């Protein structure tokens, strides 16, 4: 059933396109002119629309990639979808980010390790300080050799720390050495020139520094003389003092004997009591040793050569002092030092003079113990020694009173 209404063709121009085309095709078979003349407005409109569509597809075809063209040409070969790949830049950024994170973690760990090490160091330093304090307390409570030694200080301070308790103002170590040489070493070959064993000398030095009782009678003479030389060499100040040493050296160069002697006397009077007494004992002792030159082979010149550097003076000065010893220095009586009595001693003295002398020694020892304990050097041994000295002092005082009462009663009897 056909509808040849012109309104339908106007509203739906493409509806009868095939039929019109076929009819027109049939007509074109007969003549071209009739084809051109008989082209309708519908065909013109359809042609324009096709051109527009073709143009749109052409633009899309021009922008397509060669891969798409290949896919269009061979539709049988379907292109597989490739997985998404990150670009190299993004990978590098991620790797750098990871490296930064690792580095930051390492830095944090290093900081933690450094803090731990610092804490450990602080703990160790605190522990060391505590140990040092404990050691100091131990030293203060017992061993005073390191805190208050006898060697390596001035002569006056050494005499205060370790005096002779019989009233002679020279350090105990000097007195003990001189007593030993006077008793056992005057006839020793090359005395003061031969050195003793260093280990024994060091042991004796430590014992004196620790205030331990020392008995030198069992030692060889070279050990004792080496101990005396060590003590004199380590003095913080020479016996002639740093102020007067140069003046003594100038006086030693004076050729006139009388002028030199008077100048020496003037300088000796300026010395302190401990320096003056120690110088008198040493120079008198060296003179006594040189007087036995035939047996010990040590002349005054040889002794000055050995002992001059030890006493921190020239050979000329020591020789001059030995030459003027009797007129310059006080007379020295070499008495063997007897230390204060202890509880293990056989007994107290029986005479009035002996008791008084022992009382002076015990009181001097008591004052020394009090000074050491007040300085903080407290120990059981020192406390026991303190009580022991106090008991001996009370016993001596009682015995002295008994003697005084007995002497007074005897006097009364004699008077009657």
Residue 110 burial (C-beta neighbours within 10 Å; 0-12, 13-18, 19+): exposed
pLDDT tier at 42, thresholds 50, 70, 90: low
pLDDT tier at 69, thresholds 50, 70, 90: very low
pLDDT for the residue numbered 135 = 52
What share of the chain in percent tops pLDDT 90?
51
Assess whether pLDDT exceeds 50 at residue 412. yes
Helices 257-268 & 241-252 angle (0-180, nearest 10): 170
pTM: 0.64
Cα distance between residue 251 and residue 261, in whole Å? 9
- Give the start-to-end residue ranges of the domains of the chain: 6-73, 89-141, 155-328, 352-415
Token pair in block for residue 383: 């406390």
Give the other-Cβ count within 10 Å of 4's Cβ.
Answer: 7
Domain made up of 155-328: CATH architecture: Orthogonal Bundle (1.10)
Residues 6+ apart with CB under 8 A from 46: 13, 14, 17
pLDDT for the residue numbered 31 = 45
Cα distance between residue 292 and residue 192, in whole Å? 13
pLDDT for the residue numbered 29 = 45
Assess whether pLDDT exceeds 70 at residue 253. yes
pLDDT for the residue numbered 109 = 75
213 φ/ψ angles, rounded to the nearest 5 degrees: -65, 130
What share of the chain in percent tops pLDDT 70?
71
Cα distance between residue 400 and residue 348, in whole Å? 11
DSSP string covering 331-382: --------PPP-TTSS----SHHHHHHHHHHHHHHHHHHHHHHHTT---HHH
Q: What is the distance of C-alpha 363 from the center of its chain?
A: 42
Assess whether pLDDT exceeds 50 at residue 77. no
pLDDT for the residue numbered 115 = 76
321, 328 in Cβ contact below 8 A?
yes
| Terminal-residue alpha carbon distance, the chain | 197
242 or 76: which leads in pLDDT: 242
Domains 155-328 and 352-415 alike in fold? no
pLDDT tier at 131, thresholds 50, 70, 90: low
pLDDT tier at 47, thresholds 50, 70, 90: low
pLDDT for the residue numbered 24 = 45
pLDDT for the residue numbered 345 = 79
Over residues 258-273, the mean pLDDT reads: 94
Token pair in block for residue 76: 């049988």
Write down the mean pLDDT value for the chain. Answer: 80
Assess whether pLDDT exceeds 50 at residue 118. yes
339, 213 in Cβ contact below 8 A?
yes
Q: Which of 365, 350, 337 is nearest to 395 (CA)?
A: 350
330 φ/ψ angles, rounded to the nearest 5 degrees: -65, 155
Residues 6+ apart with CB under 8 A from 154: 235, 236, 237
Over residues 130-148, the mean pLDDT reads: 61
pLDDT for the residue numbered 391 = 94
231, 173 in Cβ contact below 8 A?
yes
The H or E element spanning position 147 is none
- The strand pairing partners of 171, in sequence order, are 163
Domain made up of 352-415: CATH architecture: Up-down Bundle (1.20)
Over residues 167-193, the mean pLDDT reads: 95
Helices (H) and strands (E) in the chain, counts: 19, 0
Assess whether pLDDT exceeds 50 at residue 38. no
pLDDT for the residue numbered 54 = 52
Over residues 398-403, the mean pLDDT reads: 90
pLDDT tens-digit map of 329-350: 888 888 899 999 988 778 888 8
pLDDT tens-digit map of 78-95: 445 555 454 555 666 667
88 or 168: which leads in pLDDT: 168
pLDDT tens-digit map of 222-245: 999 999 999 999 999 999 999 999
pLDDT for the residue numbered 261 = 94
pLDDT tier at 113, thresholds 50, 70, 90: confident
pLDDT for the residue numbered 3 = 45
**Ranked by mean pLDDT, which of 132-146, 291-305, 369-383 comes out on top?**
291-305
Cα distance between residue 69 and residue 397, in whole Å? 136
pLDDT tier at 71, thresholds 50, 70, 90: very low
Q: What is the distance of C-alpha 139 from the center of its chain?
A: 19
19 φ/ψ angles, rounded to the nearest 5 degrees: -70, -40
């Amino acid at each position: 059933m056909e509808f040849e209404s012109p309104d339908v063709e106007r509203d739906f121009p493409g509806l009868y396109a095939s039929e019109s085309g076929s009819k027109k095709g049939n007509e074109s078979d007969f003549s071209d002119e009739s084809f051109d003349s008989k082209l309708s407005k519908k065909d013109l409109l359809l042609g324009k629309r096709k051109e527009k569509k073709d143009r749109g597809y052409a633009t899309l075809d021009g922008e397509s990639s060669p891969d798409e063209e290949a896919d269009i040409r061979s539709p049988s070969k379907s292109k597989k979808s490739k997985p998404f790949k990150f670009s190299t830049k993004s990978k590098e950024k991620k790797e750098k980010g990871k490296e930064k994170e690792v580095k930051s973690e390492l830095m944090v760990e290093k900081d933690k390790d450094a803090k731990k090490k610092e804490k450990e160091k602080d703990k160790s330093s605190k522990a060391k300080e505590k140990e040092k304090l404990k050691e100091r307390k131990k030293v203060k409570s017992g061993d005073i050799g390191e805190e208050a030694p006898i060697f390596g200080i001035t002569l006056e301070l050494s005499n205060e720390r370790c005096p002779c308790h019989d009233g002679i103002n020279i350090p105990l170590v000097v007195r003990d050495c001189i007593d030993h040489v006077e008793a056992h070493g005057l006839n020793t070959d090359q005395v003061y020139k031969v050195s003793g064993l260093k280990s024994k000398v060091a042991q004796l030095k430590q014992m004196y520094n620790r205030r331990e009782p020392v008995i030198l009678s069992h030692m060889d003479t070279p050990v004792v003389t080496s101990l005396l030389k060590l003590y004199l060499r380590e003095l913080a100040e020479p016996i002639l003092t740093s102020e007067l040493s140069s003046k003594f050296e100038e006086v030693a160069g004076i050729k006139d004997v009388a002028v030199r002697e008077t100048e020496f006397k003037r300088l000796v009077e300026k010395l302190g009591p401990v320096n003056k007494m120690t110088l008198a004992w040493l120079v008198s002792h060296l003179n006594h040793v040189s007087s036995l030159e035939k047996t010990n082979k040590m002349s005054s010149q040889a002794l000055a050569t050995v002992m001059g550097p030890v006493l921190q003076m020239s050979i000329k000065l020591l020789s001059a002092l030995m030459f003027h010893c009797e007129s310059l220095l006080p007379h020295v009586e070499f008495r063997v030092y007897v230390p204060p009595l202890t509880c293990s001693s056989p007994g107290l003295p029986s005479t009035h003079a002996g008791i008084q002398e022992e009382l002076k020694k015990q009181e001097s020892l008591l004052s020394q113990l009090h000074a050491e304990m007040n300085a903080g050097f407290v120990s059981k041994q020192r406390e026991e020694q303190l009580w022991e000295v106090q008991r001996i002092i009370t016993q001596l005082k009682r015995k002295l009173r008994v003697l005084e009462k007995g002497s007074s009663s005897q006097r009364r009897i004699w008077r009657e």
